[in-house]
Amino acid sequence: MTSMGSLTRQISQLDISNKKPGATASSSTRPPALKQPTQPNVTKLLTKFAAPNPFTNASNKPTNPSSLRNQAQATTSTSSKPALTAQPSIDIGSYDGGLELDNEKRGERVYGEAAEELALDSSVSRKCPTREWTLHDFDMGRPLGKGKFGRVYMVRTKAEPKYIVALKTLYKSEIVQSKVEKQIRREIEIQQNLRHPNVLRLYGYFHDEKRIFLMLEFAGKGELYKQLSKLHRFSERRSSRYIDQMADALIYLHGKHVIHRDIKPENLLLGINGELKIGDFGWSVHAPGNRRMTLCGTLDYLPPEMVEGKEHTEKVDYWALGVLTYEFVCGFPPFEDRNSVNNTYRRIAKVDLKFEDKEVRLSEEVKDLITRLLRYDPQKRIPLTEVQKHPWIVRYRPKGVVRDSAT
């Protein structure tokens, strides 16, 4: 089987956008992510930028099932471009039969109002309808992980030009048991309309009698949590660049009236160029390990207003960004008490913030940013636009990257 490093190099040679050769990416504020490939008219599979959805119906109306090959040929014929050339073969790994095994012993068919609520199909979406999809449209590859409601697999579309995505399964009966039908529907519909280079794309979704399937952007470098666990903590340079990307993504989300509410390393992925991707919007729980107790796993990132049962705003994400910064550079959350949930509650409510670990020497700049994010009063937390201008962020920002809000 091809190694992840080899796979990453192969994927990075592809191009999934439908733009003309030489066209710039959608964000004018970022430097070009990749050198243009030599193959003419090859579509970019994974890029540093938010790629256009290759599965969207241009007419914005539901259509009969048709192959991506036909869509591609229609595009090239109208623009007088040469036909799509063959793409390099990418090894998606061996399928372990997990979906079939799971489906035999897991989940039940749902009926009535719940069935209607969970009959989710992006081909009939009002805003961004896609072509119609079924499980038979994919070649199944290796497992990528497990979520609360099902498995995730690397898959490739059978139709040309054979796009690679991560296919995530959600079992309807388990969603009903958790009483989150409306939340699932809302979060899926929200994420499909998000377009940001640091937000994992949801290209489309479909369902059968027992399951919902989500077609997600494949994050080529995997789970950020695994790298943090392996290294224990990140350098300030690496941490600063991640927090810069997080702030940019959160500004975008809040501008769309989306509050994430669950920022933590377990919900972050890394794209093909190592860029951070927010990868969980409430319809699943990504749990690669049992590093924290269930309650503490959520509690570590909760702000005082949520711990105390008060109303909250988008500024809960400001607090979580401060906790994330601390964990990146220190290797553990600032208010964690593994021996007592109540002590964790108290430390959060008192904002009992300490920088006393003798093994970690932090710069005054990062301490300042963390302290300004972790304020008890939400209104006193440093705005995200100011986070992008903070000396600790600006110091490590790569040359050529300009933030609109930071100019």
Q: Mean pLDDT across the stretch 145-165?
A: 89
Q: Which residues contact 102 (CB under 8 A, 6 or more apart)?
A: 150, 151, 169
User: Hey, what amino acid is at 186?
Assistant: R
**Over pLDDT 90: what percentage of the chain?**
52
Looking at the domain 224-406, which fold is it? Transferase(Phosphotransferase); domain 1 (1.10.510)
pLDDT tens-place string over residues 77-89: 333 333 433 445 6
Parts of the chain belonging to CATH 1.10.510.10: 224-406
Considering only CA atoms, which of 125, 140, 127 is closest in space to residue 205?
Answer: 125
Active site includes 262?
yes
Size (the chain), residues: 407
Q: What is the pLDDT of residue 89?
A: 66
pLDDT band at 358, cuts 50/70/90? low
Residue 161 confidence (pLDDT) above 60 = yes
Q: What is the pTM of this model?
A: 0.75
Report the alpha-carbon distance of residue 166 to residue 300 in Å, rounded. Answer: 29
For range 125-134, the mean pLDDT? 88
Other Cβ atoms within 10 Å of 148 Cβ, number: 15
Q: Residue range 41-64: average pLDDT?
A: 41
Q: What CA–CA distances, in Å, run from 104 to 109, 171, 189?
A: 12, 12, 28
Report CA Rg, the chain.
22
Mean pLDDT estimate for the chain: 78
- Among the listed residues 15, 244, 248, 262, the single catalytic one is 262
pLDDT at 84: 36
Average pLDDT over residues 290-298: 36
Section 227-256 average pLDDT: 95
Mean pLDDT value of segment 333-348: 91
What CATH topology corresponds to 1-218? Answer: Phosphorylase Kinase; domain 1 (3.30.200)
Domain with CATH 3.30.200.20 in the chain: 1-218
Nearest to 225 by CA among 145, 318, 317: 145
CB 312 within 8 A of CB 198: no
What is the CB neighbour count within 10 angstroms for residue 255?
A: 10
Return binding residues for ATP.
Answer: 148, 168, 217-219, 266-267, 280
